[in-house]
Amino acid sequence: MRPFWKSAGYHLVEREGNGWLRVTPDLVRAYLTRPEIHPVEESCEVEHRLFEQLMTDPFTDVSDKDLAPMADQDTADNYRVVLGFRDHLLKHKTVEAAYAALFKAQTISVPPVFIDQLVHLILRNILRNCQDPVRLRAAELFFREQMVSLNEGTVTIADAEIVEMMSETGGLGGLGALLMEAGTPMREVALDVIGEENGEIYWDRSDRFDTALDFRFTQPGPDAFARVLEDWIRHFTGVDVRIQPVQKIRDEQWSWHIGLDADATAILNALYNEEGISEADNMRILCLFRMDFENRTDMRSDLRGKPVWLGLAMSRDNKIRMKPQNLLVNLPLASGS
């Protein structure tokens, strides 16, 4: 198997019998070494001592009394956030259970970056045997914000952070930033669009997130994305569904839909309620999908046999900010499924 996404931290966890990932000391250590709380030379003795204790035993109980004497209270606050997240992981024992539990609470106190990291790790587990670069690239939508480029009928998505970095440095890192500050003309930098013909380039670059994906209806991108959606649902619920890209929703008995991001949710809600939407909003829908349950009894009894419509949209600033939790929270499952 070709390795990919080392940055996900898959080497830090262990798989349970049901395929979910057990929270381990090494996984917790990875969060405890984040720069927000990792001591520096100027850090106080209390901070150094606590860090050493946690490196020895990442599950050590830490109270406010332990944090109060810290000279830098901003660091103490950072510890409270990270340790709160650690306690959430330990409470639920597996990464998947901890992720799912976040969206059952009234409020979410976990930083968004931590949630994205959980999704990254979970997908590394789900796709551990995947050798399709297009599917892996499509899976990046679940945990990394994407920028959409529309040009003469093409729909290309690229990692928003990488696009921003390249726009600032011309793809030349610190040297590029200096050249741009000096007013030196920069060459245009284009990201490689991953496809079936050049898929081999993905393996050495999977942790760089610097490939783009053709997301037109006629291209492999949407279908690869649909396969990841199926895998995600199966992994969390044990339910098999069939998801296919469609160009339009043709359903006089439209009964259920799920937006895969906030923008798609708003647009699909408006369409379902027969409210008018602008042409601009209509253009922001990038993909529609039809989902059918393989076993009708897995679906809510009043919806059995009916399709579930899914939508993915870009925001007004041409970005995709997917919410994979929507598939779990809004899936019309039969009780007990």
Same domain, 12 and 74: yes
User: Residue 170 falls within a domain, yes or no?
Assistant: yes
Same domain, 96 and 195: no
| pLDDT tens readout for residues 149-167 | 998 888 999 999 999 988 7
CB atoms < 10 A from the CB of 192, how many?
13
> What's the 3-state SS for 59-114?
CCCCCHHHHCCCCCHHHHHHHHHHHHHHHHHHHHCEHHHHHHHHCCCCCCCCCHHH
Closest CA to 45 of 65, 72, 78, 81: 72
**pLDDT digits 0-9 by tens, 67-125:** 999 999 999 999 999 999 999 999 999 999 999 999 998 888 899 999 999 999 999 99
Kindly state whether residue 1 falls inside one of the protein's structural domains: no
Q: Are residues 195 and 233 in the same domain?
A: no
**What is the structure's pLDDT at 151?**
86
Residue 90 resides in a domain: yes
Contacting residues for 203 by C-beta, under 8 A, at least 6 apart: 2, 3, 4, 133
pLDDT tens figures, 217-226: 989 999 999 9
Q: Give residues with Cβ within 8 angstroms of 135, minimum separation 6.
A: 127, 224, 227, 228
> For 13, left (φ over 0), alpha (ψ -120 to 50), or beta?
beta
Averaged pLDDT, 282-289: 95
d(CA 258, CA 256) in angstroms, rounded, equals: 7
Is 335 contained in some domain?
no
Q: Is residue 240 a part of any domain in this protein?
A: yes
* Shared domain check, 190 and 115: no
Q: Are residues 306 and 320 in the same domain?
A: yes
Contact 82, 51 (CB under 8 A): no
Handedness of CA 159, 313, 103, 109 (dihedral sign): positive
Contact 145, 161 (CB under 8 A): yes
What does the block give as tokens for 106?
Answer: 């009234």
Question: Is position 282 within any domain?
Answer: yes
Domain of residue 120 covers 6-126
59, 110: one domain: yes
Last residue of a domain, one of 93, 126, 159: 126
336 inside domain:
no
Instruction: Give the strand pairing for 308-313 and 257-259.
Output: parallel
pLDDT confidence tier of residue 174, bands split at 50, 70 and 90: very low
Would you say the pTM of this structure is higher than 0.85? yes
Mean pLDDT of all residues in 315-333? 97
Domain count, the chain: 3
